[in-house]
Every structure is written in C-alpha cells, then in structure tokens.
Chain A
Amino acid sequence: MSNRLKRKLNDLGVDTASSKANESFCLIGTPLPPLEKSKDLGEFVPLWKQEVRDEQGRRRLHGAFTGGFSAGYFNSVGSKEGWTPSTFVSSRGDRAKAKAARPEDFMDEEDLQELRESRTIVDTTQEMDLTGGTAAEFAKRQGGDDHEQDGIVHALQSTLLPPPTDSVGAQILKKMGWRVGSGIGPRVSLRQRRLQDLQSSSPYGTRAAIDDIKITEEDEEGNKHTYAPRDTPVLIVERKDNAHGLGYRPGMTLHDSLGSSNQRGSGDPRISAGFGLGALNDADEDDLDVYDGDFKSARNRLAYDAQHVDDVLVLGGKTSVSRLDKRPVTSHSATFRDGSRVLSGFVLSEKPVMEERWFPLSDIPPGWKPNPQRIWEENKENIAKHETQQEPLPHEKWKASTMTAGERGTILGEAPLNAGPRSVFDYLSEKDRERLKTIAATAASGGPLAAPPFSMPRTEPHIAEAALKGFQPFTSEPAKQERYITYLRSQVSSDAPPLRALPNQRPDEFQKEVEDYAKAATIFKPVSGAMAGRFQTATHIDQGPKIHEGLHQPTTAELEALEEKRRKEEEEKLSPQAHAAKLGMYGPMTREVKSWQPARLLCKRFGLREPEMSQEDIDASSSSTKDPSFTTSEAEEAFRQAAGSNTGASSSQQTDSNGSRNLANIGLGEDETQGRDTLTYQRPAMDVFKAIFASDDEDSDDEKVDDEKPEAPADEPEAVTSNTAPLPSHSLLDDGPVDLSNFKPTFKPRTGKAKKENEEDRSKSKKDKKEKKEKKKKGKKGAMVSFDVEDADEEPSLDVFKEPPKRRRKDHKRHDDDDDGMWVEKPPPQIVKTLPVVSGQPQASPAANTADSVDGVDAGSRKGRKRAIDFL
C-alpha cells in the first residue's frame, strides 16, 4: 500500500490495519485436485454395504446371501463348474517322457505373472553381477599388461556376450548427460581439468605445479568448452574375512610388520595427503598401500565399466588393487584339479579349506623293546587285587557291615563331597548363628537345653493301688499292660522291681512312657469315697456281635454241616426216578416210554415197516413229547392193539377213522358237542351207506320207522364190542356199527340233520333233481361197496338186539337233531370196516332215496365216494 493510499484511507476513516483492508483477491497457481477422487475412505459404511476385495481389487466375498466366498472359480482353478480331476492316464508306456511336476504346473496366471516378475528382477541383477560386471572387473584387475594382451579376447567377449545392461543408476546418470568414462559432477573448464589430471598424477602437486599449468594456443579452442570431470575411482574396501590383526598380511615377516623401510626400497613412505591418519594407522605399509600407489598401477574403479580405456583417466590412484593383483587370479577358464571348470565369477582357492594336521611320531628311545607282557601283568595284578576285595559277600553280611557311604568313599579314595550334610545353620544368618552359638554355650554349661536327667514320676501308693484294681487302660496291648502293672506295683511298694527301660528304648521315650503310666493311673483310678457308691460296675458286658476281621474262614465242622445240608437238599430234590436208580430199583420206575417216529427212510434202510402211526398220531405223539404230562391215550393203545390183531386193510381203515376222531377231540376241547355238525358233515362213507341201505328199505321204510331207526344204532356199539374186543369203546361210542335193520332208521335223522347242515353251510342248495341224480350214482357205488362186503355170516352176531333202556335214550337223542346226526354219520365207516354186514341188502334203488336224504349228503358225498374207493 502506498503512503498516499494509506493517507487517503486514513482520511476516510478506514483502518488500514484491518484484515478487510488488506484482503487479497489474487489467486496464484491452480489448486491441486483433491487427493482422492472417491469419497472419504475412512467414512463409516454400514456393515451390509461394506465390500471386501482382494489384492487385485476383485470381489471375492459376496456375502452369505449371495453365495459366500467364491473359492474355486474366481480364485484358482478350472471352470465355472469347478475343478475337474484329470482323467487318469497311465504313464507306464512313456515313463521317459514323464516329467516331474513343477510348482508352475499348479499356478494360475496371477502366480505365474508374479513369478515372472520376480524372475526378471533376479535375472537382471544376476547378469550384471556375474557375467558382465565381474568378468570385466576381473579383466581389469589383471592389470594393464593383461589388458593389452586380452584386447582381442575382450573385444570378442564384448561382441559375443550380450551387452551388459546398465544398472539403474547408470541409466539415470546417462539420462542426466553422463557418459561412460567421465566423472560425475558439474562440467569443468579445461584448466580445471588439467589441474585434476595433474592432481591425479601427482597427488602431492604443489601450488607451483598448479600455477605451471599453461594453456597453450592449441588449447585456446579447448578452453572455450567445458569438460566433464575426470572419473573418480571408487574406494573399495577389502573385506576382512580372517582373524588377523589389522594390517597383518599372512606371510608377512617380522621386518615387514615392523614396516622397515629398507624393504620398500622404492622410496619413502608416502602418506596420503587427502586423509588424516587415524590413531591406528601407523606409518605402515598398509597405509601406503591403501592411499598411495603409482599411477601406473592404479586401476580405474568406475561406477560403470568403461569401454574406452584410452582416454580414461581416473582421479586418485587405487593401490588396493595392486594387492589384489598380487593374488593369482584365475580366469574363469580355470579348472579344478579334477578337470571340471570353475564357475565363472568364482576363484579357485589356493589353500585347501581344511589343513590336515600331522603329529609326528614321538621318538622311540633306542633300545626299547615292546613288552606287552609287562602291561598284561600290571593289569592282572590289578584284577587280582580287585577280586580279593570282591569276594562274594552274602547280602546279610554286606548289609551288616557298618561301612557308610562316606567310609567307602574314603577307602576308594574319592574326594569327599563338599556339599556335605546340610544343616539348618546353613540357612541362618550370621547373626542368628552367633546368637545360637552363645545360647548353646550357655546350655552346655548346665542350661535348660541339656538332656534332662531321667526322673521316675511318682505316683502315690494309694493311687497306684487303686489303679491296679481299677480300669486297665492298656488291655489291648498286653506288653504295655504288663509294663503298666509293673510300674504301678513299683509305686505301691518299693520292694517290687522298678520298671526298667526297654533295651532299645531311648531315655526320653522311656520317660514319656512312664509319665503316661503315671497319668493313666491318676485318671483311671476308681472313684473313691462318696462318689464310689453312686456307680455300679457293670456285671454284664455287652460286647455286641463278635466281628471277625479279615476273610471269613469257616471251620471244618461248619463245612461238614453245610455239606450235610446240601446233601439232604439234593436228595430231596432228586426225582423219584433218580432216587429209584440210586437204590438200584431199576425197572418201571426208571423207565420212560415215549412214542418216537423213525424216519421213513430209516425204516426202509433197516428193512422194517414203518410203525403204524397215522399222521395224527404222530402229531399227537410229538405234542406229547413236548408236554411230558400228556401221555398217549388209552384209546391209542387200544387202537394199536386192534390194529395189530386186524388184517392189514381193515386195520388201516380203522386207523384213519380213529385218527380223525382223535383229532376232532383235540380240537373240541372239553365240550364234545361243539362243532359236531361240521365234523359229522364231513363223514362221507355214511352217505354211501345210507344211499345203499335207503334204497333197500324203500321210501316206505324210511317214513315208517321213525321210531325204530334211532334205536338200532344205539344198540350197535354193544353188539360190536361183544363181537370184536379190540374196538376201542369210547372212540366208537357214537358210531354204532349198524345192522341192516338199524340202518334204515338212521336215514331219517340223517336227512333232517343234513338239511340243517346245508343251511348252515350255506354252500350249496342244489335242486332236488340234481341231488337225486347224484344219489343214484351213489347208489350204484354203494352197490359196489356192498359187493365188497362178502360175509353174510356175521349178521346173526350183529343181530343181537338193542336193550330197551338204551333205545329210549337214543330216542331222546334223536329228537335232538345234532345228536342224531352225530351218531348217524360216524358209525357207518367203522361199520363198513369192521362189520361187512351190508351185503345182505345189496339192491340200492335210487328211487328209494328220499329227497331229504339226498339233500343231506350233497357235500359229503364226494368224500364218501373216495372212501368207497378206498374200501375197494
């Protein structure tokens, strides 16, 4: 602000100092764009909006609701479908081709990319270091002469080998205008450069020398330009990889180490001007080496491998290189002893890695002769000694020997363990120890710590006496009790022998014991005086059950008693059978008979007929075997006998009927009448008979003799039994064997009953005619059957007639349809079998059959036929 303006403003009354007046409206430059285009990263984003991305910025996590972490497809392998295992291909045929799996095989593009990148980096560095750089370095190290010689080789190398790539630093330098071979720094004038050259050639160049630099006319032109400075050698410090002292060189003589100058005949030590000498740096060859050196021998150590060596001049000679030169540096074409080439970049070591150490043989004294005998003897001597010492010592003796470990140790010449027995005192402080010492000293001089002299505690004689009489506290320990009594006695009277300590009892223990006794005596003495009267000693001691400790071991008596008991019990348990056997009463008592069914094949093999048992019998017997209480029925027995006596055919018939009868009984249980209808319904042979005999009697008969007919069957059984004894009475009870006369009456009841059955069965209500036809057929068959039956002779016997009372009974029965049916149906088969009476009335006229009779037989007829056939 100009003064004028200020003034003006002041005049106007504006405060020039105020910010408003000073406000600047100029903007300089353009503002930087915001650092990040996106919004604030630290901004709070609700959880559900947050996104997770991997290093590549891809979304890998999609949240639980959108599929979760997508590992397979996006991450590593395969396709959208996932990873599919490759099909197995046998490599047996081409094992030679098989190559080991490389890690690269399992990498995806990302990994490979990464790998590639890392490799390239490695490669470039390697190239630089190993092939190009170091080789060139070696070449340079070889010295100028080598340089000359190797010119061609070098040229070849440089052409053949890939051009060494520049390091990054070199590249940058190049970009900044640096050129290979020139130094680093601002450009200098010709004069300055000359100066540098001079300096480098003679580091001790004086002012005069500098002044000497003249710029000739030739240089006039050159003076117009500026020049790059001379290159500065890189200071390479040799790595110290040995344990020698600083400046020591292996193989250096004492003189060398002293740095005597005569060795260095060339001239005085020249100490580098540029650097101060440290305290450690003596005027030593080292220093000379490091900082001095002929220009000649100086190597140019460049940050970059110079190609054009001609005009390369380096500031400051490098002497360290000269030492390097002294070492025989093998070119990379050197070979090991075994002929294999040394890797380029490596140098063969002069010294072996490990030196073998040789110990020269000690000088054998002249006249020495080997005498193993002596050593042998020596050893033997030792052994012998040892043995004598180690004569087998029985364990007891050895144990008994009171030698302690310490003693043994001294005998063996062991140094005693200085650890020694630790005492409490070791843990006490010095002060405490001293205090204790003083205390002990006082105690020794009759202090309280001295072992108390034994004193027999006194017990008043009367107390002792009372205690003797009273409760004895040590009854459980007889020895102690004894001593207790002795003590008491000794207290009662001085004559009694006093209690003495046990041989191995320590005095203090004895003291304690005796004191115990004294106490016990005072405690357990019986109450005296007035109190004594109040107590009564128990006369009965309730000891409770005596408990035996340990395992119970019964006495022999007990065992015997137990044995006896057991024996008795066993005898009681013995079955009557076993009892009988025991008594030698063999016979029916020890015998048990069961039915047993041999296999048919077995009978065949034995050439025997099968025992005659119907299937039902077998069943019955098998069931009976299961239930021992159920034995074969009398009926069976009877039947068997009958079977035995009868002829084959007839007997077999009998078995059939009998068997079925039995079966029926079994099924019926107690109520015999139950289900009779159905059973009887199945009787077929009856029908046949009826058919036959009905025809005989003709219709008239049937109708007439309602009364007579029932009677006849009732009587039959008796007649039968009288004739043939074997017939089992009960099984045949109902089925009265039938006389001709008897048969007629049976028809009617039968028919009536048959009707009922038909109704019940609701099976077939057939037309009368049809039935009649059937009946006719039956009639014919019946006739056949009748032929079979030959003897009319037996009739008379059968004719024996019914007793009136029974008849009446039957009459009653007949009124009950069921009953009638029962007896009507069952008898016929048996009759047929046993009593072939029928023949007397052979003519069975179909017409004679009443419709009624026909009805009844319908279902049964078939079976009836079969039976008839069987008879034949």
Chain B
Amino acid sequence: MAPSRGPQPPARTVHTTLSAHKGPVNVARYSKGSAKYILTGGQDRTVRLWNANLGTEIKAFSAHGYEVLSITVSNDNAKFASSGGDRSVFLWDVATATTTRRLSGHMGKIHVVEFNEDASVVASGSYDATVRLWDLRAQSRSPIQLLEDAKDTIQTLHVGSSSIITGSVDGYVRTYDLRKGELRSDFIGHPVTSLVPTQDGQTLLVTSLDNHIRLMDMSTGKALNDFTGHVNNSYRCRACFGHAEASVICGDESGMVWAWDLLDAKLINPSPPPKAHSKVITWTEHHPSDPNEIVTSSADGTAKVWRNPEQG
C-alpha cells in the first residue's frame, strides 16, 4: 500500500454479528493462516469457533469452570490454548473439542496465554503476578521457568521469536530477551493492558489505563507516538495495528472503534467514530491478511466482524 494514500480507514460496516455468547465476550482471535475462522471466549465459560465470513457458530468448547479471558491459536490451527478464571491453562484439540492438557499452577486467574511460534511453549500471565512458561513437548507438567519480576497482575504478554514481553498492572513493560539474557523493564506509569509489537519487532504498541496508547521503541524504550482520544481507564481494551501497520485501531470503553494514523497519531475520520457496540469493546483484532476486516468483541455479548462495503 502506498504511503501516499495514507492509512486506510478501518472497516466500519458490520459484516456479521457473532452473538451466541451469553455474557460479555472477553476475547476474539483470528485463526492462523488464512484466518477464516474466529475464536471467541466469553464470560459464559465457553470458547466458540465461528466462521468469520458466514457468521455461523461452528463449535463451542466448554470445559472451563470460569470465564475465559484469553485464547491463543497455534500456527497449524490444530490446537489452541485458553485460560481464565480457573487458574489453569487449557489446551484444546480443535477437531475433537476436547482438552488435551490442563496446566495448573497459577495462584490466580490467568489473564493471558500465548504460544510461541511452534507452539512448543505456552506462556501464561496471571493475577498472581507471575508468568509461567510451560513446556508442551515434554510430559512434565511443571513450568519451564517462572518470571516473577512483576509486582502486580500480568495483563498481557507477547511471545516473540527471541523475546517475551509482558505488560503488568504495576505499569511496567518487561522484555525478556532470551538471546541476550537480559531483562529490560520499561516503566509506563499506568497499568498496561495490551501489547502488540510490529512485525519487525522494533516497536511496540502499548495500551495503558490512562486513555493512552503508546508506540514504544523497543530498543531504546522511548515513546515514538501517543494515541489519545478514546476512553480506556478501567477495562482491558486491546488495541491493534491496522492493515500494513499503517494505522492503530482500538475499541474503547464507550463502545466506539477509534483509528489513528500510525505516523502522525491523528484520528482517522470519522471522529468521533460511530458507536459500534453498546458496551465496552474488550478486544479488537485486525485480520492478519485481509486489509478490510477487523473483529471486535464486546461486553454486550456480541463479537462483530467488520468489513468495508466496497471491498465486500
């Protein structure tokens, strides 16, 4: 996409509404690969698999005893992991809709769970302020390593190819560099609720509960850009990059989906944006390849797939 045209505005038309969840939907994630499917996890203790195009529910995965707070999908789409209030990470086999492993050890609800690239390790960040790295290859059910540097709940984490980045309520973004054997802690000052690195791994989109989204330079820890205007001071509202990482998209607590130009941090029209959900938007995720599709999940019990009409 040509930079001259500027970033595309995010999709503003509802393509389908996924509304089988009984309570708030906490997370909505695209499958890997061509990303035709969406997995949503909600307060109703289920994970649901949807056809993003048709909006039909394919499967419901129910084994959780508490709310589902996080989902991560392996690259081969054969399995995924979910976590939530029941203090253990559930590994699922997508085809049979059964749990293949339940990793327990955390002392609190698990807010975030992430696979590494080949899904041989799953990292989980919990209310107990620890990150546990679980080995999925070995039979051992104890974590490989415990990251206990955080002083408060781990709200978000990202597992890269050579680093693990965690965002915690104590206001720190911690980058564990496996290659260098180094831990870099960047103080944001406010509870960090979501982290999304760019593809090149140089910058990091950090959402914090002070109504700010910051683009941080990972190498120096400097803030490159600051996106404001939305309301986000009490819930985890995950922000993401728009297509080709030219924009930043975030659904906020008032139910609106905001978009900024990545470079100049200006709001992309319309501003203020129309209301997309009646309640807090808990998760915003852009389609990994399709430039016109995003999915949002909300506390109003629905997840919506948005597409630009002209791209239709």
A interface list, Cβ under 8 A from B: 577-578, 580-582, 584, 586-588, 590-599, 601-603, 605-613
Contact = CB atoms under 8 A, between A and B. Distances in A.
A602 B145 contact: yes
B182 A582 contact: no
B86 interface: no
B180 interface: yes
Interface string B159-176: 001100000000100001
Contacts of A584: 223, 226
Contacts of A577: 187
A597 B179 CA distance: 10
Interface in B58-113: none
A608 B189 CA distance: 32
7 contacts: A578-B189, A593-B182, A593-B183, A602-B144, A606-B161, A606-B178, A608-B179
A678 B280 CA distance: 69
Given A577-B187, A584-B223, A595 B133 contact: no
B185 A594 contact: yes
Contact of B214 (A586, A598, A607): A586
Given A591-B187, A596-B177, 10 more contacts: A586-B188, A587-B223, A590-B188, A591-B221, A593-B184, A598-B176, A605-B121, A608-B179, A611-B177, A611-B181
Nearest to B180: A611
Nearest to B185: A592
A586 B186 contact: yes
Contacts of B144: 599, 601-602, 605
B222 interface: yes
Contact of B178 (A587, A591, A595, A603): A603
A499 B279 CA distance: 73
Contacts of A587: 220-223
A611 B188 CA distance: 27
Nearest to B187: A590
Nearest first, the 6 A-B pairs at minimum CB distance are A611-B181, A581-B189, A596-B183, A591-B221, A586-B223, A587-B222
Which range contains the number of B residues in contact with the other chain?
Answer: 35 or more
A588 B226 contact: no
B135 A581 contact: no
Contacts of B176: 596, 598
A608 B177 CA distance: 11
A603 to B, nearest CB: 6
A605 B188 CA distance: 30
Contacts of A610: 181
B180 A592 contact: no
B206 to A, nearest CB: 10
A596 B184 CA distance: 9
Interface of B: 116-118, 120-121, 133, 135, 137-138, 144-145, 161-162, 171, 176-189, 214, 216, 220-223, 226
B178 A602 contact: yes
Contacts of A602: 121, 133, 144-145, 178
A605 B120 contact: yes
Most buried by B among A592, A595, A597: A592
A609 B178 CA distance: 9
B218 to A, nearest CB: 10
Nearest to B178: A598
Nearest to A575: B187
Given A602-B121, A606-B162, A586 B222 contact: yes
Nearest to A584: B223
Contact of B116 (A590, A605, A612): A605
Contacts of B226: 584
Contacts of A607: 118
Most buried by A among B133, B186, B187: B187
A584 B226 CA distance: 9
Contact of A608 (B138, B162, B182, B187): B162
B190 to A, nearest CB: 8
Contacts of A598: 145, 176, 178, 181
A611 B220 contact: no
B133 to A, nearest CB: 6
Contact of A595 (B181, B214, B220): B181
A595 B133 CA distance: 18
Given A586-B221, A586-B223, A587-B220, A597 B181 contact: yes
B182 A594 contact: yes
B59 to A, nearest CB: 29
Most buried by B among A577, A581, A590, A607: A590
A587 B117 CA distance: 29
A599 B144 CA distance: 7
Contact of A605 (B137, B171, B185, B222): B137
B183 A578 contact: no
A601 B133 CA distance: 10
A599 B142 CA distance: 13
B242 to A, nearest CB: 23
Most buried by B among A580, A595, A601, A602: A602
Nearest to B214: A586
Given A588-B221, A596-B182, A581 B188 contact: yes
Contacts of A582: 189
Contacts of A601: 135, 138, 144-145
Nearest to A632: B182
A173 B260 CA distance: 138
A591 B116 contact: no
Contacts of B222: 586-587
Given A595-B181, A596-B181, A601-B144, A606 B121 contact: yes
A595 B183 contact: yes
A612 B144 CA distance: 19
A632 to B, nearest CB: 10
A641 to B, nearest CB: 12
Nearest to A577: B187
A603 B177 CA distance: 10
B276 to A, nearest CB: 29
Contacts of A597: 181
A581 B171 contact: yes
B11 to A, nearest CB: 32
Contact of A611 (B133, B179, B185, B186): B179
A582 B226 CA distance: 13
A605 B118 CA distance: 9
A869 B179 CA distance: 29
Contacts of A580: 187
A151 to B, nearest CB: 100
A179 B121 CA distance: 123
B24 to A, nearest CB: 31
A596 B171 CA distance: 20
B295 to A, nearest CB: 29
Contacts of A613: 181
A590 B173 CA distance: 10
B135 to A, nearest CB: 6
Contacts of A609: 179
A635 to B, nearest CB: 17
B58 to A, nearest CB: 31
Contacts of B137: 605
A588 B220 contact: yes
Most buried by B among A577, A578, A591: A591
A607 to B, nearest CB: 8
A598 B175 CA distance: 12
B140 to A, nearest CB: 9
A584 B225 CA distance: 10
Given A596-B183, A611-B180, A586 B145 contact: no
A593 B117 CA distance: 25
Most buried by B among A578, A598, A601: A598
A624 to B, nearest CB: 11
B182 A595 contact: yes
B115 to A, nearest CB: 11
B251 to A, nearest CB: 24
Contacts of A605: 116, 120-121, 135, 137, 144
Contacts of A593: 182-185
Most buried by B among A592, A594, A606, A608: A606
